[in-house]
Amino acid sequence: MVVIEPLGHHELFLVIVQLALLLFVARLVGEAFSSIGQPAVVGELLAGVLLGPSLLGIVAPTVYESLFAVSESQFHLLEVVSWIGLIMLLVVTGLETDIDLIISKGRTAAILSVGGIVVPFATGFALGWYLPVEFIGAPGQRLVFSLFIATAMSISAIPVIAKVLIELDVIRRDIGQLILAAGMIDDTIGWILLATVAGLARTGVVDLGSAATTVLSVVVFLGVAFTVGRRVVAETIRWVDNAVGSDAALLSTLMIFALAAGAITQYMRLEAILGAFVVGVLVGQVKRFNYQVRRSFETMTLSIFAPLFFAIAGLRMDVAALADPTVFTVGVVVFAIACFGKFSGTMVGSRLAGLSRWEGITIGGGMNARGAMEIVVATIGLGLGILTTSMYSIIVAVAIATSLMAPAIMRWSIPKIEMGDAERRRIEREKYLKESFVNNLTRVLLPTRGTVDTQYAARLIGPLFRPLRTDLDLLYIDGSDASTADSGYGWIGGRLFGRKKTDSKTTEQGESESAERVLTGLEERLGEQMGSIRRLVRNAPGSVADTILENADVRYDMIVVGERTLGSDPDGPLFSETIDRVIQEMPCPTMVVSTSESVKRDPGQIDEPIRRILLPTVGTQASRHAAEVAFTIAAEENALVEIAHVVARPGLSDQFVDSPDLTNQLDIGNRIVDRDAELGRRLGAKVVTTVTVSDKPGAELVDIADRNGADVIVMGTNTRPISQRAFFGPNVEYVVNNAPCPVTVLSSI
């Protein structure tokens, strides 16, 4: 048995000091550049240059040699951290990538990528063919050398481009997504070219079989990732969220997927960054991985690991090597041809794609950044003996110089690109969706005992969650005797449910059939959902509220309950004590659905179309949340939403002499309904507005619903505990008790 020696004390001490110093200087210089209006990535790249042989090696050579002039094995420890940062940065890039937008602009991206590859490759090959022989590692292999220079000139640095786009806050714009799409295509082709040229350097012959294998590997990986992989990623994240329910678990799952996919693509000789990027894209499409969790991962990446990656990349540059006049002259020529090839290629491509001049300049500036990708190419070329040390220094210098140019060019040109109406609407909608109440409902619980109210609740929330990829848990509550009950789970139809400890097969079979019937009915009324639907069955021999709260002791974004479902007294208070407890003790919003007496007498009305929704509003955040619910349902059902605001006329005891002037209150009411109407139109709903005055607002709302034939009323309200009950206010209570149609009360605050 071989015992692996642990990392030595000095080696560990050295790598910790290196990381601390690199991160400190990268963040310091990055913040300095941010303070003068430049992207932090510029300063982070320069931090490595400052700590490398270019500055620290000259100013304090002893310090530099003790810290960074180390053995290869010691430097490899830094490279491991650098690669983790690179993988995480590509995951962030994938999370921010809108695959549907890229597909919709696939033709444009393909044209841009062809221009960004063909022209730089041709100019790079010509450059390599005519460079002096002293820059060729193997003078007898000028063809290989020329192909290698052509490949190096064709590559783009997606990590640099992505970080610049994120810092400039344009990654979600059409131009940002185009640059990412074209850059990814360029890089994929570039890695295929690199594999082919590297094989040629090793064998001395062009290995077309290796190139074909690489192309096939890319196709197979992407095909599997976006079919089987998409489902595996989505189901795994849902399972982790259900089983653990913490942000830390979701972040760990994301990183495990990224490393695993990176390992697969690295094994396939496609580079780990491709796998990490694809995982980011797939996870970004899973709604359970919400904005808050995504933001945590981005913050950790962009504040720690990405700066380390860029700083370590900058360490490789030695400006002193360029002091030789010949090397410097060749370096200037290489730099000029590199910029010319990328800019001219992307400009031609942008013209063919019908883009504007400023869009072409922006894309050229972004794709001209070579960054660490070209440094990796240069490192491979040096290791294969294709490049001399001088040529290696030139390519690294070009990589860093073009990366420093990109932010300045893009910052200058992007403001000159006019945003079209469609793009502006998309950006505004995305901004709204990040803060939207309904859009951030990723997991919802619907408890039921099979009554009319929860059946109608399922009918109502079906169109609400259908377009949102919301996951629904249906909890069937069985009021069995405590002596035969158990808190464990069993299976029904292949899905999770609670079962009894009993030897009676007949009893157990009867319960299964009852649960199956009720839950199947709920699923039919929910209709086809984009998110998952999970069945849960629990025994509740004691308190039904306790059963609900115990099962809801995981992360839910909302619970939907039926008003009469759990045995409320029609002659008592508005809701039963069970409903009150659920509303008060649930840490998430609650939607209470109460059907009308006519629906209770004739349950067949549940399945009737929803054509008109009454939305009372008072301009509060709770009303705004209810409005989102109503508009989302209306857009799916093609229903009309009537937005109503009732100004309460003061009672006789509050009046002085004449009738009060309510002009100001009416103006405020009109502004409230107009604001909600604008939101409704943005969400694709048809709306009308009503502003009226009444002594009794609750009675007025009931009259409006009756007069105009509302199919359902959706109200938002706050709860106030009075006598240990959830009090919604007299108007809400009046509407619930007297409305001619079902009423939904959303308590979201």
Asked if residue 497 has pLDDT above 70, the reply is no
Taking a C-beta distance cutoff of 8 angstroms, is the pair 462, 500 a contact?
no
513 Cβ contact partners less than 8 Å away, ≥ 6 residues apart: none
CATH numbers and ranges of domains, the chain: 9-433 (1.20.1530.20), 436-591 (3.40.50.620), 609-749 (3.40.50.620)
- For the segment 344-379, what is each residue's pLDDT rounded down to a tens digit? 998 888 888 888 888 889 888 888 888 766 776 776
- CA trace torsion 141, 143, 144, 148 (10° rounding): 130
Does the pLDDT at position 485 exceed 60? Answer: no
pLDDT at 24: 95
CA 548 to the chain's CA centroid: 31
Going from the C-alpha of 394 to that of each of 211, 326, 377, 379, the distances in angstroms are: 27, 11, 12, 12
For the chain, give the longest Cα–Cα distance: 107
User: What is the end-to-end Cα distance of the chain in Å, rounded?
Assistant: 62
pLDDT digits (tens, 9 = 90+) for 555-599: 788 889 876 533 444 444 455 666 767 777 777 888 988 888 777
CB 197 within 8 A of CB 138: no
Q: How far apart are CA 363 and CA 356, in angstroms?
A: 11
Distances 211 to 187, 189, 218, 275, 659 between C-alpha atoms, Å: 15, 10, 11, 19, 87
Cβ neighbours of residue 65 closer than 8 Å, sequence gap 6 or more: 57
Q: How far apart are CA 626 and CA 613, in angstroms?
A: 11
Question: How many angstroms separate the CA atoms of 335 and 124, rounded?
Answer: 11
Burial bucket for residue 505 (CB in 10 Å: 0-12, 13-18, 19+): exposed
Nearest C-alpha neighbor of 587 from the set 553, 564, 616, 614: 553
Cα–Cα distance for residue pair 68/18, rounded to 1 Å: 8
406 pLDDT exceeds 50? yes
Structure tokens at 683: 């969400």
Tens-place pLDDT, residues 252-285: 999 999 999 999 988 887 777 788 888 998 998 8
**CB contact at 8 A, 743 and 735:** yes
Residue 554 pLDDT level (bands cut at 50, 70, 90) = low
521: left (phi over 0), alpha (psi -120 to 50) or beta: alpha
Mean pLDDT of the 117-139 span: 88
Q: What pLDDT sits at residue 652?
A: 52
Reported as a pLDDT band with limits 50, 70 and 90, residue 710 is very high
For position 481, what pLDDT does the model report? Answer: 40
**Position 127: which residue type?**
L
pLDDT at 126: 93
Q: Do the beta carbons of residue 341 and residue 123 sit within 8 Å? A: yes
- CA-nearest of 175, 188, 269, 277 to 225 is 277
**Interatomic CA distance for residues 272 and 270, integer angstroms:** 7
Residue 586 is classified by DSSP as -
Among 156-170, 254-268, 608-622, whose mean pLDDT is lowest? 156-170
Query: Residues, the chain, total?
Result: 749
The stretches of 36-141 forming alpha helices (DSSP H) are 40-51, 56-59, 61-67, 72-95, 99-104, 106-130
Q: Average pLDDT, stretch 17-43? A: 86
Report whether 308 contacts 81 (CB < 8 A): yes
The secondary structure of 676-744, three-state, reads HHHHHHHCCCEEEEEEEEECCHHHHHHHHHHHHCCCEEEEEECCEEECCEEECCHHHHHHHHHCCCCEE
Average pLDDT over every residue of 369-394: 77
